[in-house]
Amino acid sequence: MSGAGEQTDILSVADVVRERWRVVKKIGGGGFGEIYEVLDQLSQVNVALKVESAQQPKQVLKMEVAVLKKLQGKDHVCRFVGCGRNDRFNYVVMELQVGNYVNYLFL
């Protein structure tokens, strides 16, 4: 590996998505996306926001959103809050599972 240049995060602390979700901190990331703890400025509740770059060749978040919506109401499944996209990234917002961030990495 050449180690040439590190990949930068899609979002930064204090960024606001869709004039609603303010980034509190990054809580994880992997090959296809990043997960942030964000404050929902409408409900004043912290939730999780998963993003993937719009320039990423393999877009997987759309499929994850479909699966998450189908599993709503089942035990041990995060509550779906919303989703969307812009020119920089695609995103899904879901219930924050405090202390168990690994759950977001496969959704």
The binding site for ATP comprises: 50
Tokens at 41, concatenated: 């400025």
Alpha-carbon span 54 to 106, nearest angstrom: 19
**Radius of gyration for the alpha carbons in the chain, expressed in angstroms and rounded:** 14
**How many CB atoms within 10 Å of residue 72?**
10
Residue 78 DSSP symbol: P
**Residues tagged in the binding site annotation:** 50
User: At 89, which amino acid appears?
Assistant: F
CB-CB contact of 84 with 18 (8 Å): yes
